Structure 1
Amino acid sequence: MAEGGQIDTDILSDEAFDVLCSMCKNQGKNTEGEQYCVDCKDYFCVSCVKVHSKVPLCAGHKVLDKSQIKSRTSKGLPRAPTERCDRHSHKHIDMYCQKHDTVGCSTCMAVDHRLCKDTFYIPEFIQNNTYQVVATREIQTKLKALDTILAEKADRFKQDKQRLLKRKAEILADIRKFRQEINDHLDKLEKSSINEIEDKVKSLEDKIKDSLKQLQANKSRITSINDKLTSTNTNQSEVFVYVKMAEDAATVAYKYIDDSELQCTTEDIEYQPDITIPTQLEEKKTLGTLAKKHTKTSVSLFQI
């Protein structure tokens, strides 16, 4: 067990092993590997690990001492995850808090889970706990279902936008037709009425765009983590991280779906011409009045 993002050395062995330094091996030398780089997944002797640490791209790599590496059996310690932490980009997501059932880097654990006793180094947790592939299948099934739901909602938003623009065109045509039935004095009124409709439609269209943007963000996250789960099948630690990330993504997506269902009422606009205009042109500012109309059905968004 580890607390505050630290590796629990109580369950690691100091036994010697005969793994060779990868850099020396490439040069035809047989030098025992004294340290292990989690990121490179290679062993290094005392001299070569110094060279490794000086390479800029390897500056943030996690290197384990010989005392932190279990004896090299056929199974060994599972490979560490390579997914980078969103909050601490120089760190890898290689820690797991069992109390909160969440993963993070060592810095996350030190900051957010310092009081949690059940925090583990993921490769050790995987090795000492039976992790079922069923959880991976379940979250993949959940992600696939969510992807379908979000895709359907995206189509509905697009259809709403098309209906909105279609009704906008119809209203503008009706306004111009109505304007032709009266005298030239309607030029100014026509412009005011069109501007009012344009502003209202723009407001509704912006709302749809905002909703679609939120939906696409959830859908992209669902698709991305599902792709990672699909392409990762050998690194159990990596799968563990992606499953936990997928569960978080699924929770956010479900909340978005629930919230959007509560606000699924479509805001509508209704236009009513003013039949008194022919006799009262001088007193009017627009060709009619706009009113909102709410509906849950796929009927026309505007009526004139």
Structure 2
Amino acid sequence: MAAALEISQHKGSDVVFDVCCSICDDDGIQKEGRFNCQNCSKYFCNSCVLTHNKFLKDHLVTAQGGGDEWPVVKPVDGSLELCEEHTTEKLTMFCEDDEKLLCHVCHLRNHKQCSQIVLLTDKVKSTTQPLDVGQMKTRIES
């Protein structure tokens, strides 16, 4: 049982950014994207923007909150991320056996015997088109 719990734990942090650094994200590192390049259509953290600007001096780079060129991130309804049964718990897993979104309480109480439980972050990364939790919930419900 302990081995199964070890496998289900994900590497990374619980910090969620509005925008992640495109370069770091490609390497599996989660850093906040504080700069946006209009030419590359990529986001950069504090360290990656220095390298970008060194090689691509003619690109238009804006800082977060630094002007109208910063892309608007559409806010996600927070209630979509919460479990309907356990209203204070966030949805963090997906049961592929039952095709249901799960919080950790649902997993422990109702889905311990299921063989295909995946973290939402892994599920979203594995899809061909990126989905947010709200989009995934809508697709599952339909």
Structure-2-length-normalised TM-score: 0.46
Larger Rg: 1
Q: Which has the higher contact order (CA 8 A, sep 6+)?
A: 1
